[in-house]
Structure 1
Amino acid sequence: MRVEDDRTRVMGARIRHFRTRAGLTLAALAEQLGTTASTLSLVENGKRALRAPEMPSFAGALGVDVTDLLSDEPPDARTALELELQRLQSGPQFAALGVPAVRVSRTLPHDALAALVRTLQELDRKAREATATPEEARRANTELRGWMRERDNHLPHIESAATEIVEAVGHEIGALTHREVALMAEHLGFNLLHVDDLPRSTRTITDLEHGRIYLPPSSIPGGHGLRSMALQAMAHRVLGHTAPSSYQEFLRQRLEIACFAGSCLMPERQAVEFLTDAKERRDLAVEDFRDAFGVTHEQAALRMTNLLTTHLGLRVHFLRVGADGEIHKAYENDGLPLPTDVTGAVEGQIVCRKWIARRAGHQENRTTEAHQYTDTAAGTFWSSTQTGSGPHGAFSITFGVGFDDAKWFRGRATRERQVSTCPDESCCSRPPSDLAARWSEAAWPSARMHAQVLAALPSGRFPGVDDTEVFEFLERHAAMD
């Protein structure tokens, strides 16, 4: 229901309330106003909006001020329930039930009205929870990846929002400091507070009532990640996000806040100047970009996907790959043939054993980037990979370009080259015939079960977040004032 419809209904209810309180019938009030009872009935039932020139005469006839008519508050608790029932019964969730609407009248007992409203509110809440089956979630993520590919992973409105807030705190060059991030929060009306009792299901919590953003302790190892957490929390406010109504919207918001944080940590103007200079020297490297802005290798690689196509004309690819070769994140606009399932999703798919994204984990020296050319059916690609480890195990971050654009990057002189014919099973997924002959009947491995195979997709207003824990946390900290 539109906001205007809500206001019309509330005003009509207030007029009926004041008319009844004044002891006037519809006909008596209509006679005073020079209109008809049927027209007045339409106004009271919220089916006809009262025009501004009519308001003084209505207010005078009812013995109230015009401001009394304009209030957004229902006149009493009973009317509030009636209006809420009308709103709920006019929504798509109620229509989908296929049952007739309950006529709102004064003969409907108050307890029955309250119970009916509470029931419909609960149905409405459950329908609005951002839930989805794994297949729906994967399709939503695939659509989002395609949407970003069409835009070369570049969102100008987010760049503009980030530029505005970065300039507001006077940041000019180098890594964004924790102090500057705190100033950004103050600029938006928030204070950053570090606590050690955040619910396990959350990374940050924003208290909109008291203007606080709660973060993990500032002394945790790798505390530079707190800048990104704080910026992502602010991004929801800067970008005008509301509670997601679908899993697709939830994913879009996550992507947007990550883009905002990256755009603040590596501001567009400074980042493009750095990359342009490196390209002119034919010395582009993720590790240099990472170190110049004090971010993680993954953040730097992702930010380069935001900027290199739009500003430097280079088409690129990015992958985050787990220790078993499964894709966690991926993006390409250079034609790299990513493995996909039947829905087009790449997450969870296994990359070819010949790709540097998997082979880098076997390198003796893991402190610097490893480089490789890979010949595929779609062409030859140059890639640079850095390995790392986190709470969920080892992973690799890969950034690369097509063969023709490798000339701009450090590591282009590598002699490492592999040929990948995947998805042809003979490339790397089918065991060599001699090994298969020797062991196929003699091997009986016990598979390691991946818990996510059986796990239900997180549900809730914000998928995976325990609302009770969050509300108890906010209540606890509000009481400390």
Structure 2
Amino acid sequence: MTTTQRRGARLGDEAMVDALIIGRRIRAIRKQRGLTLESLAQAIERAPSQISALENGHREPKLSQLRRIAEVLAVPLDDLIGGDEPPDERASHEIELERIQRSVGFSSLGLPAVRVGPRLGDDALATIVGLYRKIEQLRDDRQATPEEARRVNAELRTTMRASDNYFEPIDDEAEGLLETLGYAGGPLPQRLTAALAEHLGVTLHYVDDLPQSTRSVLDERNGRIYLPQSVIGSGDSRAAVLQALSSKVLGHTVPADYAEFLRQRVESNYFAGAMLMPRTRSVERLQAAKANKDLAIDDFRDAYAVSYETAAHRFTNLATEFLDLPVHFVKVHESGTIWKAYENDSVCFPTDSLGAIEGQTCCRHWTSRIVFAETDHFSPFAQYTDTPTGTFWCAARVLASSQGRVSVSVGTDFTHARWFRGGNTTSRAVSTCPDENCCRIPPAHLREKWEDQCWPATRPHASLLAALPQGVFPGVDTTDVYEFLERHAPPEPSPTADERNRP
């Protein structure tokens, strides 16, 4: 079978045929031969409209028809169906624009299609194609692939480390609002959380059909914030409301890329912590505890009626700036996977090639892993761990989550451990990670017995492989959000008599 025969045999396969390229080749050669649409159509006994549809890629070419066209144009059939390159730059742009306007992405823009004809100048054609390429690039920048998410997360952690995880402008904003609301100390009352919403000109609405990809929805048009009904009576509803209000307080705008989206999320959580555990009173309490060598996340948590994780996060915001303590924080799933981490005390967290910590496996000998084996989960577990970068002290607690147990740990280097309750612990371990002989390779007696005798089936997380849905806010299904807002929007006010009578 010849090359032409092999190609011809595949013409029915849409994957192997590019009707747009073949059509542009026919047009280019026809014009080179000085033939009009009508003359070519007459020569192969077809209507001019059929040839036009063929040249524009709107009709799938048949092999018999292509052979007849090749004969009329006096070219080998391979000149029409061989290769995948357009005949010239103009044709390349025309083909790209045709493909763009047939795409789902273009349809979602709601723009009218541009007729790709001879009256469309080369410069205009190139500009239109270039603009759409830029739109696609912006979409790609907003789409958080796992690799992009890890890279951006690593960059954000560098920024947080440079500021010792303390964001003074957000704390200033929170202190000012608390003074305006009349906060008098202790746990933030729920009534003041509601008063903040009123102060910002929004009303709170609890619903049972919030889009699954969201934790809250702010309706700017009607001055409403929607939260899930599950927030009421479970967990800390104050935190959920404060996070929802943060975008108005902090002046967040639509994120330009995933990095800005992630930064805004960190700032929202920081704002909630700053409102729940105000800077001035928190620092006074922590400084007094340090003076007594009795710093404890449990006491900090109890003083403000927040979760242990919230207290641990807030402690890292204030510890270095106001207590002169380098610290680290890590949240680890019971599987050993690190979910969150922060450090400015030189502890050596495992990282991937992009510098990302999240998703890496925590050493089995670290406090964050050993705590799962402890039977007393009422009290925090403290331990010193000797590592390649020094000795570090950690206190950890096991908490429940929707995806299983997690541990939350806060620690510091050996020289600063004396300021913490539990700094006199006798529990000690040695970690030589990232040396794989530390905990990555099974013990010899187990390896000898089970190596080559088992085949575990992995349970991968889909999120490790899939990109977050495209959109302005990564991971959020915008259509779901708009449909939700449409369902819950208050009725439009009836027009007044004057409005009805206006021409």
Give me the TM-score of the superposition, normalised by structure 2: 0.70
CA deviation after TM superposition for structure 1 residue 128, in Å: 3.7
Q: How does 1:33-432 map to 2 (within 5 A)?
A: 114-116=112-114, 126-129=136-139, 130-217=142-229, 220-224=232-236, 226-432=237-443
In the alignment, does 2:445 pair up with 1:434? Answer: yes
- 1:115 Cα shift? 3.9
**What's the CA shift string for 1:352-386, capped at 9, x where partnerless?**
10001011011011121100000111111110000
Conserved in 1, the CA contact under 8 Å of 2:146 and 2:463? no
Q: Distance in 2 between matches of 1:393 and 1:459?
A: 29
Q: Output the CA distance in 2 between the equivalents of 1:231 and 1:119.
A: 44
TM-fit CA distance, 1:477: 1.2
Alignment of 1:12-23 (within 5 A): none
> Equivalents in 2 of 1:337, 1:246: separation in Å?
29
**In 2, distance between residues paired with 1:115 and 1:182?**
49
The C-alpha deviation readout for 1:399-443, integer Å capped at 9, x for no partner, is 011111111111112111001111111111111222212221222
Q: Matched residue of 2:395: which SS?
A: strand
Letter in 2 for 1:353: R
Correspondence for 2:35: none
Gap runs ≥5 in structure 2? 1-94, 98-110, 115-126, 493-503
Asked if 2 retains the 8 angstrom alpha-carbon contact of 1:386 and 1:398, the reply is yes
Tell me, in whole angstroms, the C-alpha distance in 1 between the residues paired with 2:284 and 2:437.
Answer: 45
Q: Is the alpha carbon distance of 1:433 and 1:401 closer, same or farther for their aligned partners in structure 2, counting shifts above 3 Å? A: same
Measured in 1, the distance between the counterparts of 2:135 and 2:238 equals 33
Distance 2:175 2:340 in 1: 26
Secondary structure (helix, strand or coil) at the match of 2:147 reads helix
The 1:223–1:378 alpha-carbon spacing in structure 2 relative to 1, beyond 3 Å, is closer
Q: For residues 480 and 337 of structure 2, what CA distance do their matches in structure 1 show? A: 32
Mapped contact 2:187–2:276 kept (Cα < 8 A): yes
Change over 3 Å in CA distance of 1:379–1:217 after alignment to 2: same
Moved more, 129-138 or 422-431: 129-138
Q: Which segment is superposed worse, 457-466 or 303-312? A: 457-466
For residue 454 of structure 1, the aligned residue among 434, 458, 465 is: 465
SS in structure 2 at match of 1:400: strand
SS of the residue corresponding to residue 425 of structure 1 reads coil
Equivalent pair of 2:146/2:465 in contact (CA under 8 Å): no
Which letter does structure 2 place at the counterpart of 1:449? P
Structure 2 counterpart of 1:30: none
| Partner Cα distance (2:489, 2:468) in 1 | 32
> Offset at 1:390?
1.1
Letter in 1 for 2:398: T
Indicate the residue corresponding to 2:55 in structure 1: none
RMSD across aligned positions (CA): 2.4
Where does residue 36 of structure 1 map in the other structure? Answer: none
Residues 137 and 299 (structure 1), Cα distance of their counterparts in 2 relative to 1, 3 Å cut: same
What is the CA distance between 1:176 and its match in structure 2?
A: 0.8
1:340 Cα deviation after fit: 0.4
Equivalent-residue separation in structure 2 for 1:292 and 1:247 (angstroms):
36
Mapped partners of 2:273, 2:175: distance in 1:
11
Deviation at 1:325, TM superposition (A): 0.8
Distance 1:127 1:182, change over 3 A: farther
Check whether the contact 2:316–2:327 (CA below 8 A) recurs between aligned residues: yes
Aligned partners of 1:142 and 1:344 also within 8 Å: yes
User: 2:138 and 2:238 mapped to 1: Cα distance?
Assistant: 31
Q: Shift of residue 457 of structure 1?
A: 2.8
Confirm or deny: 8 A CA contact 2:145 2:466 kept in the other structure: no
C-alpha spacing 1:118/1:274, structure 2 compared with 1 (3 Å)? farther
In the alignment, the residues of structure 1 paired with residue 96 and residue 212 of structure 2 have an alpha-carbon distance, to the nearest angstrom, of: 40
Quote the sequence identity (%): 49
Once the two structures are superposed, residues 320-351 of structure 1 have per-residue CA deviations (whole angstroms, 9 ceiling, x without a partner) of 00111111000000011100011110010001
Secondary structure (helix, strand or coil) at the match of 1:303 reads helix
SS at structure 2 position matched to 1:426: coil
Query: The residue matched to 2:405 in structure 1 has which SS?
Result: strand
**8 Å contact from structure 1 (residues 235, 261) kept in 2:** yes
For 1:122 and 1:167, locate their aligned partners in 2 and report how far apart those are by CA, in whole Å. 49
Q: Assess, with a 3 A threshold, how the Cα gap between structure 1 residues 132 and 451 changes in structure 2: closer, same or farther.
A: closer
What letter matches 1:377 in structure 2? P
- Contact 1:128 1:461 (C-alpha < 8 Å) held by counterparts: no
1:121 to partner: Cα distance: 9.0
